[in-house]
């Protein structure tokens, strides 16, 4: 299989830097809890937190709505919960991609019920054509067409996460 580059490593680095500045400005004077959604958001989150200039902590959650498939099942499963309470904290959820919106919508509702001071979301990739909910992320790296993407943390059957760019598998 070949991979067609959709977003280059350089474009990603520049946009992550811009997002880091924007988030830093929005949270100036406040501590931030950044929650990465495993496993796909790890690469994006690692680069993003190094571009954020306000004090922050990190935690992780694992959610699944895909299993081994390339399309969401519509059923969201919580595989790993947070290690700490979020009540009264400024929380930023970091996710690799939003397509149907079901996972992030579920996650946002779940975390909102835990009474954070603020709750926002940052996604590297947005596929609005696939949206099945009204959920809109607060920070978006790139809006992409409805193609199955890999690289920069995103996988296909647990492979290709290590690619420094976002690409589309071609036969």
Catalytic center residues:
99
Look up residue 145 and give its two tokens: 């067409």
Judge whether 110 and 91 are in contact, CB under 8 Å. no
Q: Which helix (H) or strand (E) holds 60?
A: strand 56-64
3-state DSSP percent of the chain in helix, strand and coil, to 5:
25, 35, 40
Enumerate the β-bridge partners of residue 126: 98, 143
């Amino acid at each position: 299989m070949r991979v067609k580059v959709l977003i280059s490593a350089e474009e990603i680095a520049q946009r992550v830097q811009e997002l880091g500045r924007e988030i830093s400005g929005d949270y100036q004077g406040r501590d931030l809890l950044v929650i990465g959604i495993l496993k796909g958001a790890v690469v994006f989150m690692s680069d993003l937190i190094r571009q954020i200039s306000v004090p922050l902590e990190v935690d992780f959650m694992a959610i699944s709505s895909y299993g081994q498939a390339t399309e969401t099942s519509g059923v969201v499963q919580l595989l790993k919960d947070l290690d700490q309470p979020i009540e009264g904290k400024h929380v930023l959820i970091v996710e690799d991609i939003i397509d149907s919106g079901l996972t992030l919508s579920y996650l946002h509702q779940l975390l909102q019920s835990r009474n954070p001071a603020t709750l926002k979301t940052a996604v590297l990739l947005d596929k609005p054509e696939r949206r099945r909910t009204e959920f809109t992320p607060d920070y978006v790296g790139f809006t992409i067409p409805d193609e199955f993407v890999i690289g920069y943390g995103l996988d296909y059957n647990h492979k290709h996460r290590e690619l420094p760019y976002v690409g589309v598998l071609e036969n």
